Every structure is written in C-alpha cells, then in structure tokens.
Amino acid sequence: MTDDKTKALSEAREAWERIARETKLEIHVFDGGIEMRVAGCDKGHAVRTVLEEMPAGTAAAYLGDDRTDEDAFRALAGRRSEEHTSELQS
C-alpha cells in the first residue's frame, strides 16, 4: 500500500472510530475498506433476517469479494435443493 493510501485509511479509520464509539457500532477493517456494523451482527445475520421474511422457497443469491462476506455465504450454504441442482445441471 502506498504512503498516501495508508495515510488516507488511517485518517478514515480515526474518523469512523469516533462515530463508532458515540453510536456503539463496531469497526471492521478489511482489504478495500472499513465497515461499521451493529455489535453482534454481521452480513450473515442480515441475510438470515431477509430470508426469514421471504416466502419459503424464495430464490436467493449473494455476491461478495472479501472476508466480510463470508458470514453471508455461510448463511446461504445448504439452501440449494437437489431438485434445483438437477435443473441447473440439465
């Protein structure tokens, strides 16, 4: 990472940490950014909440490219039925 990017990330993190302290949110730094979230919640929690509010059998997909997305992928794991799998393969 260049010195300019390192400095920018450090400054951004300081600003967001002040907000996090005031709002009791958590900061998660990852390759490419800073994420703030409610303590104890993650993207998997958000995916599970949305799915619980949808009718049974609703199709769901999630796209992500960093470690903050792993919880969402785990929340979706095992949702694909064999029937859908065979339909996709034919």
Which of 23-27, 30-34, 53-57, 61-65 is predicted least confidently? 30-34
Please give the average per-residue pLDDT across 2-22, as a whole number.
88
Residues in contact with 41: Cβ distance below 8 Å, sequence separation at least 6, in sequence order: none
- Calpha distance 4→29 (Å, rounded): 17
Q: What are the tens digits of pLDDT across the range 46-90? A: 999 999 999 988 888 899 888 888 999 999 987 765 443 434 444
SS (H, E, C) 25-84: EEEEEECCEEEEEECCCCHHHHHHHHHHHCCCCCCCCCCCCCHHHHHHHHHHCCCCCHHH
